[in-house]
Amino acid sequence: LYPGHIPTSPLQKALLAAGSAVMALCDPYRHDMVAVLGETTGCLALTNLRDKMKNHPEGYHILQERPRIRLSTLDMTRLQGLPDGSLGREYVRFLEDNKVSPDTRMPPKFVDDEELAYVIQRYREVHDLMHTLLGMPTNMLGEVVVKWFEAIQTGLPMCVLGAAFGPVRLSTRKLQVLATELVPWAIRSGLNASCVLNVYYEQRWEQPVESLREELGIFPPP
């Protein structure tokens, strides 16, 4: 169906989902297992996200052009030169501060629909932009908060699992902050915000982060 696609039966998908779920719970930083879990359990959620994109002018444009967020497609020098507070500058700052790269996002393998495969690829590639918009780092606390927001936004079982079980590795103090401040804010923002996959981020680099948050309906981080 697309380069790298691996056809699998429903039984094979179930076995992959179970195995990847166990591995991801044991080690949340096993991004390969998290990716497999997302692909083998996300068909209904991906279909819903695809339909939301098709019914939105900007989302439809993204599906038609299929942009990619990778180092090869980003003009890092230009983004670094944008004003502080702009989406592009803050995105690059996030990448630099957390020592992450957009090129680490795995390509889909087990999604049996070429268009849905792009949707999950797009979700993965805008994940760091969610961190940027939500003001969350890549530590376990930040990842759990982003997963709560993404679980509400996308309905992907992988995100729901991460939101539910990610906190077990947090200290008591962080759990208190998570439960009393961060999770309620992430849920309210996720419910209030329009679909984050309907934003053509590559055409919004100059837009201030605060302006984009307000446009989407994301409440200011606590």
155-193 per-position pLDDT tens digit: 999 999 999 988 988 899 999 999 999 999 999 999 999
pLDDT of residue 28: 74
Asked, for residue 92, whether it belongs to a domain, the answer is: yes
User: 64-118, pLDDT tens digit by residue?
Assistant: 999 999 999 999 999 999 999 999 999 999 999 999 999 998 999 999 999 999 9
Asked, for residue 5, whether it belongs to a domain, the answer is: no
Asked, for residue 4, whether it belongs to a domain, the answer is: no
pLDDT of residue 24: 84
Asked, for residue 148, whether it belongs to a domain, the answer is: yes
Asked, for residue 221, whether it belongs to a domain, the answer is: no
CA atoms within 13 Å, Cβ hemisphere of 51:
6
Tokens matching residue 51: 């339909």
Domain that holds residue 14: 10-216
- Mean pLDDT to the nearest integer, 8-33: 89
Asked, for residue 2, whether it belongs to a domain, the answer is: no
Asked, for residue 96, whether it belongs to a domain, the answer is: yes
**In the chain, how many H helices and how many E strands?**
13, 0
pLDDT of residue 25: 80
For 8-12, 27-31, 154-158, which range has the lowest pLDDT when averaged over its residues? 27-31
Residue 152 has pLDDT above 90, yes or no: yes
Asked, for residue 195, whether it belongs to a domain, the answer is: yes
Number of structural domains (the chain) is 1
